[in-house]
Structure 1
Amino acid sequence: MLLLVSTITLFAGCSNQSTEPTTKKVSSTTSSTVEQTKISSSEPTSESLLKEYPASEWHPGKMDIQGMINATQGNETKALQDASMVAELTLSPYFSDNTDKAEIELTKTGDNFYSLSITNNYLESEQDLERFEKNSELLMAQQPVNKSINLYIFTGTGMGLSRQVVTSYQLKDDGTIAKI
């Protein structure tokens, strides 16, 4: 629960960017002052709006699903909702442009096995799609592997993009993750 509160607090403080126009005074060579107004534009850039996933970030291997179930007095539905919220708050900057367009959900797929699904159908550029794909690979390379999550599904696409990403990873019997 402390992790959840800390994560929510951390993310609440990170979104204080202003889109207000800024005014800057620039003096000219004739002693007069010229005002220039700089307004944010939404022109396409060659950089992705998604952040690159760092190796130091939280990953599903750090999630104790059974501990979360125990903390909710056995209420598995509530525990999965809480776990999904933690995953979404932590991972969304790497799979969404912070506009709540990505869906990150942990669901039960069997008797002690779970599935983590990350979907973004609103990627805006090829760079975002490439970063989405790279971040899924970086996330799956993290250790230790969560042996309770047996399936990971990443789906990324967007209007006007030439391709889409649909990648799945599965927990193998030897405890490693393999792309399928």
Structure 2
Amino acid sequence: MNAPLSPPPTESLEKLYQNNFSWLQNWLRERLNCSHQAADLAQDTFVRLLTAPDFEGKVESIREPRSYLVTVAKRVMIDHFRRRTIEQSYLQALMQQPEQEGISSEQSMILLETLYRIDAMLDGLGAKVKKAFLMSQLKGMTYREIADEMGMSESSVKKYMAKATQHCLLFSLYEQLDA
């Protein structure tokens, strides 16, 4: 009969970094085709671990450190690309504005941060719920107009709006509790 596998030796966050940073950076470089971006995102991955609540206490329980790091790195990449998409959309919208309506760099940064927060707030909503909510809030469309546009009943739109509103309120509540 085979003896049960013993758990791997525990690693501190420092050991996790020392043993895996270069490997993670190479893994990211293969996917991004950019060594600078790979280095930034590898660093961001470890920053995310450092800032996670009580991560230092959990590091010992990680059985497959590289698999765990890949999972975290994928989330960091998704957040990075989401932020970049928001920034590009924002800059395109700015370029379409007449010059006299230009805004200061401080106002621009405030607007970008607001867009990031809105994106984070809407994250987790289904695509249809998110679309209905944005059509209502950004385009000022009525529930009937949204229903017609999306090919659904007005009662479905009302349910979507209730779900989106509840989601946003809970997000705001959690954000206030974290502050």
- Per the TM superposition, whether the score is higher than 0.5 is no
TM-score by length of 2: 0.27
Give the structure with the higher percent strand.
1
Q: Which structure's relative contact order is higher, taking Cα pairs within 8 Å and 6+ residues apart?
A: 1
- Computing the radius of gyration over CA atoms, which structure comes out larger, 1 or 2? 2
Give the structure with the higher percent helix.
2
TM-score by length of 1: 0.27
